[in-house]
């Protein structure tokens, strides 16, 4: 009783002694509230992420010591502390800057507390029972309600006096106890007790002296990697912290608004599935929050569990992983989240408990990255690996879960754990540190230490000097990374500041999702390597006992590993398997391990590579971009090593392909097998300081320089392919290059081999490698003509291009490669044909024929009418036509025409009919084989006449003359390579002049008539000038005129019938037309980028012979109105066909 009274008295004195600082405390609180004006209503600190019923069934009691109301000018702060069963409550009230303190003690007897309670000298009974392995108990912390956030210190346990946990010493002669102890009053005494004193203040084992220089090294640092970490990049950051925990990486600064360095990352986690096991997902009160934060990206997995309305912990954890656009916290805002609510409620309280079935469900749904922000609130060293002990670590786990962990780590899974929230703990929880007992899990395991504010007074202050760690890395340092643990969340419309490793872990999980998005072929171990080796070194240099590998650096982690480490790879080499695609590691890479590259994809290393192990390139490609490469390289027979002006320090053994681009140096030997190939581009040189043995290998020469295609003239370019400081052994057994190039190599001295590359004649090459299609031959001749002109200009300029032809030469270089590529040759040649400018003119001629045919039919029907009348008649006709334009060796065009004519005519005498008509047309043609498309709008006028009267003479003569204007829009793609496509859009205006005359003789037999006839047709089309400006290989052409004159002979028949008192004349005809001249519609043009070189462009020409057939009907509805319809078909032997349908009405008045 005296002891309890003393404690109460000490508590009262402590409360009174703090009254003088109350105003200062209130001021700090108000400052924090202003700093987060939307968050002042609710602050929540998670001092532990666990529930408390571990094996002894003791629950953590959380004392509320920071429970402010919304900042309104009056601030109330309540501090409640339970000391040895005595409840002391201090209430701080601040009104207008003045603070008062009220102390409430449960038994009214004041006690002063001014230092930690000293543990008793005698052993204290531990109520923790022995738990059998078949009944593991997992401790989880209940989730706090966001509307009443609680800021907790180190968990306080409820015994009536300070707890001294004892680990039993079990002698070998004693039988192992495997069942719970029936009588917990029988203590098990541990000779090395663990003291857990509830009132003991938090003591950081590595204090920060804010007003002193950063901590310096006092001795050698021992870290897991067998070699020291290489010197970091030079200082580039301006905001490197100078106070607080030691900051060792000068290349990165600290931004309190972006503590994990994610702001510049454009990745978003798309396509990556993350599994999160936590609480609150089955809390119906949080359904709206889940929808707002994650939308349809979150899928709640059925676990059979439910959460109380206060459970929100998992919502905040999930938001850290993948909160959407409304959240500033989400690291991977488009990742798919599988949410498993593992809340478990028992008589001892509410906590978290996973099962193997939950994990398997997540795995089967595609999750390979798992976040676990929970665990047992005891450091892993509280347990042991003695299976006879009641503290045996496996007693805390179900065996099926341990088997799942082992199997899925082996299968590439990654498990990320919160380390714990006890500032006095030098080791993480047993879950986060499980690889300490099960080393096979380390490949896919990450423990995350949280950095958080020093005290409640500075909650929300993220300055670096204000941060300290919670539970530290300790024996788990080699799989530990650190991250910020304090964040602002919005829950049910209220903002809270939450703190703990519960929220540091999902920041790492979100980063893992980004790494997986960028490198989808990475397994959990490679993702882990990327995150740990790119962490910013803080605290003691190297991998330390507090922060592990250092502070999370999201941006750097998404650029691949920064170290190849045997300890992380669990092998002598880091193995990278890229099935397809091109991926880049842009960080500098050091380390003691080597690199093994498998898979057909390409790995680009753009940083300095100083790792010490050997590089084994089995398959695919490794590209080294311009930096030092310290590793020896062995290139397998399916591998390709690309050196871009690189220094290779330790030699190359080449059994596959070695591509040298630029000036590269090998500071050791280059040994080639007979089956290997050395690829050298223009202007490149490979200098070998050591021995060179070519062994009759192959030299392949390319027309590239610095990775960019170069134009090669017919004369060629000579360069040094390989030089050596020693005599070169052997020579190349074969010289290869692409199809459009010629190549030779000469050993000019014992230390040098020179190579010459020149181009072939394009027309000859295309004829040799293609089927000889006319369109391709025309393109090849055009290219050769242009290249010959370009060659002359380059030679005149001493082998270099000029400002006027440089752009054209660059694009010509692209063509030299693509024409020689079997995969692109036909596409490129097709697109360069420009045939549409020739072939589309055939459509213009067809439209003139269509108008002519409609007027011809109109005149014939006028001759058949009984009631022409001696007054004016008006008629209108609608026309539709479609057909094809084709010719062997060219692309085929599909045509469509919509047109109409409006006419006026009158019979001036018995034998003469005169008339005039206006026409309008819209036509289009689309060519296959990348020929392009054209749309033409035309307008025209015609005069027509007929001489002859069916009642007086069987002879007739009829004809028309017409003039039209056509406005054409042409669009086509100009393809120089797969990745070099431009679209040409031009307009040209054309003029059309047409004339037609026909004469025939009617033979009558009652109502049946036969009319043989002959005719003459003449059409002239004058195409306007055009220029395609969007490509160096666009076409430029002046105006061109096309003409065709043809004669025809035909037979027409008609039959008069009466239907319902109306006369109907049925007609049919056939005629054959032959041109007097060949018109192939070709024209002179040049490429826009080199207009000095002219060439012919050809396309589908006009048919010399064609046949028309048609049928029609004319009905005289009454003496003033007649209706007519016709169908005409044009046939050619090889140039396609055309269908024309017309229908109209004539009204006499």
Tell me the pLDDT tens digit for each residue of 773-798: 999 999 999 999 999 999 999 999 98
- Same domain as 480, residue 459: yes
Among 47, 429, 499, 502, the active-site one is 502
Residue 154 confidence class, pLDDT cut points 50, 70, 90: very low
pLDDT value of residue 212: 32
User: Can 51 be counted among the known catalytic residues?
Assistant: no
Question: Alpha carbon 224 to chain centroid distance?
Answer: 35
> What is the predicted pLDDT for the residue at 121?
31
Which listed residue (139, 278, 289, 905) is catalytic? 278
Nearest to 695 by CA among 743, 651, 654: 654
pLDDT at 91: 58
pLDDT class of 870 with cuts at 50, 70, 90: low
- The per-residue pLDDT for 99 is 52
The residue among 338, 328, 260, 317 whose CA lies nearest residue 558 is 260
In a domain, 521, yes or no: yes
Average pLDDT on 1075-1100 reads 95
Report if residue 258 sits inside a domain. no
Strands of 1035-1037's sheet in order across: 1026-1027, 1035-1037, 1083-1087, 1090-1097
| Mean pLDDT, the chain, whole residue set | 82
The angle that helices 356-364 and 399-410 make with each other, rounded to 10 degrees, is 30
Q: Are residues 493 and 639 in the same domain?
A: no
Do both 1144 and 1015 map to the same domain? yes
End-of-domain residue from the set 534, 559, 584: 559
Q: What is the pLDDT of residue 423?
A: 92
pLDDT at position 68, please?
27
CA distance 156 to 163: 10
**Comparing C-alpha atoms, which of 679, 690, 684, 587 is closest to residue 635?**
679
Q: Are 329 and 489 in contact (CB under 8 A)?
A: yes
Across residues 457-479, what is the average pLDDT? Answer: 92
pLDDT classification of 599: cutoffs 50, 70, 90: very high
Query: Which domain-ending residue is among 559, 574, 591?
Result: 559
Say if 621 falls within a structural domain: yes
pLDDT the model gives residue 780: 97
Does 553 share its domain with 568? no
278 is catalytic: yes
Domain membership flag for residue 357: yes
* Residues 587 and 547 both lie in one domain: no
Judgement on whether residues 577 and 551 belong to the same structural domain of the protein = no
Which helix (DSSP H) or strand (DSSP E) does residue 369 occupy?
strand 369-372
Tell whether 29 is covered by a domain.
Answer: no
pLDDT in tens, 931-973: 999 999 999 999 999 998 766 778 999 999 999 999 999 999 9
Verify that 623 and 555 share a domain, yes or no: no
CATH value at residue 1135: 2.40.128.130
pLDDT attached to residue 1120: 87
- Per-residue pLDDT, 950: 64
Q: Are 80 and 6 in contact (CB under 8 A)?
A: no
Task: Check whether 166 has a pLDDT greater than 50.
Answer: no
Ranges 117-121, 366-370, 671-675: which has the least confidence: 117-121
397 and 313 assigned to the same domain:
yes
- With a CB cutoff of 8 Å and minimum separation 6, the contacts of 406 are 438, 440, 441
Shared-domain flag, residues 917 and 1009 = yes
Return the pLDDT at 862.
77
pLDDT score for 1059: 83
Average pLDDT of the segment spanning 731-743: 91
994 and 860 inside one domain:
yes
Least confident of 476-480, 593-597, 888-892: 888-892
What is the reported pLDDT for 191? 30
Asked whether the beta carbons of 101 and 12 are under 8 A apart, the reply is no
Tell me the CATH number at 388. 3.40.50.200
Query: Can you tell me the mean pLDDT for 410-433?
Result: 96
* Average pLDDT for 1052-1070: 91
Give the strand pairing for 1083-1087 and 336-341: unpaired
pLDDT band at residue 866, thresholds of 50, 70 and 90? low
- 546 and 571 part of one domain: no
Question: What is the per-residue pLDDT across 63-121, written as a single tens digit (0 to 9) for each?
Answer: 222 222 233 344 445 555 555 555 555 655 544 445 555 555 544 433 332 232 223 33
Domain extent, residue 382, equals 127-140+158-224+265-559
The pLDDT of residue 125 is 32
In a domain, 86, yes or no: no
Residue 710 covered by a domain: yes
Same domain, 524 and 569: no
Per-residue confidence (pLDDT) for residue 80, from 0 to 100: 59
pLDDT band at 17 (very low <50, low <70, confident <90, very high): very low
Give pLDDT, residue 226: 31
pLDDT given for residue 697 in this prediction? 97
Number of domains in the chain: 3
For residue 1005, give every residue at least 6 positions away whose Cβ sits within 8 Å of its Cβ, in sequence order, or none.
none
pLDDT digits (tens, 9 = 90+) for 798-811: 889 999 999 999 99
CA gap 451, 466 in Å, rounded: 9
Q: Which residue has the tokens 């190349």?
A: 732
Residue ending a domain, among 713, 736, 762, is 762
Q: Which pLDDT does position 374 carry in this prediction?
A: 95
- pLDDT exceeds 70 at position 177: no
User: Residue 73 phi/psi, 5° resolution?
Assistant: 110, -25
Q: What is the pLDDT of residue 103?
A: 54
Residues 6+ apart with CB under 8 A from 1049: 1012, 1013, 1014, 1015, 1071, 1072
Active-site residue (options: 126, 313, 501, 921): 313
Q: Comparing 738 with 549, which gets the higher pLDDT?
A: 549
**727 burial type by CB count under 10 A (0-12 exposed, 13-18 middle, 19+ buried):** exposed
On whether residue 41 sits in a domain, the answer given is: no
């Amino acid at each position: 009783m005296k002891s309890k009274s003393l404690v109460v008295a000490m508590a009262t004195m402590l409360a009174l002694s703090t009254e003088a600082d109350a105003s200062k405390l209130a001021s700090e609180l108000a400052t924090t509230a202003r700093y987060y004006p939307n968050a002042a209503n609710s602050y929540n600190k998670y001092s532990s992420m666990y529930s408390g019923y571990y094996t002894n069934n003791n629950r953590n009691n959380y004392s509320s010591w920071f429970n402010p109301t919304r900042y309104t000018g009056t601030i109330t702060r309540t501090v409640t502390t339970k000391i040895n069963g005595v409840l002391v409550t201090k209430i701080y009230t601040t009104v207008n800057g003045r603070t008062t303190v009220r102390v409430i003690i449960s038994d009214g007897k004041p006690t002063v507390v001014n230092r930690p309670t000293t543990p008793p000298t005698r052993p204290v009974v531990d109520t923790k029972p022995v738990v059998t392995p078949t009944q593991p108990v997992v401790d989880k912390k209940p989730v706090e309600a966001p509307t009443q956030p609680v800021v907790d210190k180190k968990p306080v346990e409820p015994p009536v006096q300070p707890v001294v946990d004892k680990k039993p010493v079990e002698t070998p002669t004693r039988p192992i106890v495997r069942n719970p102890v029936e009588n917990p009053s029988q203590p098990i005494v541990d000779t090395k007790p663990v003291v857990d004193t509830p009132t003991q203040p938090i003591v950081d084992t590595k204090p920060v002296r804010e007003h002193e220089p950063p901590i310096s090294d006092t001795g050698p640092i021992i870290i897991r990697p067998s070699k020291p970490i290489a010197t970091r990049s030079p200082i580039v950051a301006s905001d490197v912290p100078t106070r607080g925990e030691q900051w060792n990486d000068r290349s990165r600064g600290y931004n309190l608004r972006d503590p994990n360095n994610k702001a510049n990352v454009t990745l978003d986690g798309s396509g990556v599935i993350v599994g999160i096991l936590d609480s609150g997902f089955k809390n119906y009160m949080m359904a709206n929050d889940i929808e707002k934060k994650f939308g349809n990206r979150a899928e709640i997995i059925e676990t059979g569990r439910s959460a109380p309305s206060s459970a929100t912990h998992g919502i905040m954890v999930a938001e850290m992983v993948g909160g959407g656009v409304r959240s500033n916290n989400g690291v991977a805002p488009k990742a798919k989240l599988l949410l498993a609510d593992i809340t478990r409620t028992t008589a001892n309280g509410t906590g978290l408990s996973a099962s193997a079935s939950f994990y398997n469900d997540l795995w089967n749904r595609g999750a390979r990255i798992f976040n676990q922000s929970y665990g047992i609130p005891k450091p892993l060293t509280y347990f042991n690996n003695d299976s006879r002990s009641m503290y045996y670590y496996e007693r805390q786990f179900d065996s099926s879960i341990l088997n799942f962990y082992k199997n899925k780590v082996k299968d590439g899974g990654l498990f990320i754990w919160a380390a714990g929230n006890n500032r006095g703990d030098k080791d993480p929880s047993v879950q986060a540190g499980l690889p300490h007992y099960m080393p096979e899990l380390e490949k896919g395991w990450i423990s995350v230490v949280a950095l958080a504010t020093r005290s409640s007074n500075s909650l929300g202050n993220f300055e670096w000097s204000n941060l300290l760690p919670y539970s530290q890395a300790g024996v788990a340092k080699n799989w530990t990374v650190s991250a910020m643990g304090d964040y602002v969340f919005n829950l049910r419309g209220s903002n809270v500041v939450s703190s703990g490793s519960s929220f540091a872990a999902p920041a790492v999980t979100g980063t893992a999702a980004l790494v997986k998005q960028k490198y989808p072929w990475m397994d959990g171990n490679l993702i882990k390597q990327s995150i740990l080796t790119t962490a910013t070194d803080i605290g003691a240099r190297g991998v330390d006992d507090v922060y592990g590998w250092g502070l999370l650096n999201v941006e750097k982690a998404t650029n691949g590993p920064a170290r190849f480490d045997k300890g992380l790879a669990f092998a002598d080499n880091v193995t990278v398997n890229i099935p397809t695609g091109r991926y880049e590691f842009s960080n500098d890479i050091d380390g003691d391990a080597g690199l093994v590259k498998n898979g057909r994809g390409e790995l680009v290393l753009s940083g300095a590579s100083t790792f010490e192990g050997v590089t084994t390139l089995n398959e695919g490609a490794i590209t080294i971009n311009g930096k030092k490469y310290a590793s020896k390289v062995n290139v397998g027979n399916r591998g390709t090593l690309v050196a871009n002006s690189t220094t290779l320090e330790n030699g190359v053994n080449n059994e596959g392909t070695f591509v040298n681009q630029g000036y590269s140096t090998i500071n050791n030997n280059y040994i080639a097998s007979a089956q290997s190939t050395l690829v050298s581009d223009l202007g490149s040189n490979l200098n070998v300081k050591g021995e060179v043995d070519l062994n009759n290998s192959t030299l392949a020469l390319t027309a590239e320089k610095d990775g960019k295609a170069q134009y090669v003239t017919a004369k060629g370019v000579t360069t040094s392919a390989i030089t050596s400081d020693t005599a070169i052994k052997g020579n190349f057994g074969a010289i290869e290059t692409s199809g459009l190039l010629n190549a030779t190599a000469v050993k000019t001295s014992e230390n040098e081999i020179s190579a010459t590359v020149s181009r072939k004649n394009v027309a000859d090459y295309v004829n040799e490698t293609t089927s000889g299609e006319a369109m391709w031959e025309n393109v090849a001749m055009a290219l050769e003509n242009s290249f010959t002109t370009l060659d002359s200009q380059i030679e005149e300029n001493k082998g270099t291009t000029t400002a006027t032809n440089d752009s054209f030469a660059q694009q010509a270089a692209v063509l030299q490669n693509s024409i020689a590529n079997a995969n692109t040759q036909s596409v490129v040649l097709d697109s360069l044909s420009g045939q549409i400018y020739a072939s589309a003119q055939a459509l213009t001629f067809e439209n003139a024929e269509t108008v002519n045919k409609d007027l011809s039919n109109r005149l014939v029907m006028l001759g058949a009418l009984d009631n022409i009348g001696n007054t004016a008649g008006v008629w209108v006709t609608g026309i539709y036509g479609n057909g094809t334009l084709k010719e062997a060796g060219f692309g085929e065009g599909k045509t469509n025409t919509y047109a109409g004519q409006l006419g006026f005519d009158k019979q001036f005498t018995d034998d003469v009919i005169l008339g005039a008509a206006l026409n309008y047309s819209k036509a289009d043609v689309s060519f296959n084989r990348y020929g392009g498309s054209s749309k033409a709008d035309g307008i025209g006028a015609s005069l027509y006449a007929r001489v002859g009267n069916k009642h007086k003479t069987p002879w007739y003569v009829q004809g028309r003359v017409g003039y039209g204007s056509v406005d054409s829009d042409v669009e086509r793609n100009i393809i120089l390579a797969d990745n070099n496509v431009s679209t040409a859009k031009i307009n040209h205006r054309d003029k059309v002049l047409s004339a037609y005359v026909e004469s025939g003789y009617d033979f009558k037999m009652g109502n049946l008539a036969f009319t043989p006839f002959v005719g003459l047709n003449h059409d002239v089309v004058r195409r306007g000038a055009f220029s395609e400006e969007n490509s160096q290989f666009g076409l430029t052409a002046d105006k061109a005129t096309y003409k065709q004159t043809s004669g025809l002979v035909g037979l027409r028949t008609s039959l008069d019938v009466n239907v319902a008192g109306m006369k109907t004349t049925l007609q049919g005809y056939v005629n054959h037309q032959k041109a007097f001249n060949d018109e192939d519609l070709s024209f002179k043009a040049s490429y826009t980028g080199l207009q000095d070189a002219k060439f012919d462009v050809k396309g589908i020409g006009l048919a010399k012979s064609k046949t028309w057939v048609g049928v029609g009907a004319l009905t005289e509805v009454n003496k003033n109105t007649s209706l007519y319809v016709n169908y005409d078909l044009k046939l050619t032997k090889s140039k396609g066909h055309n269908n024309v349908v017309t229908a109209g009405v004539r009204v006499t008045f």
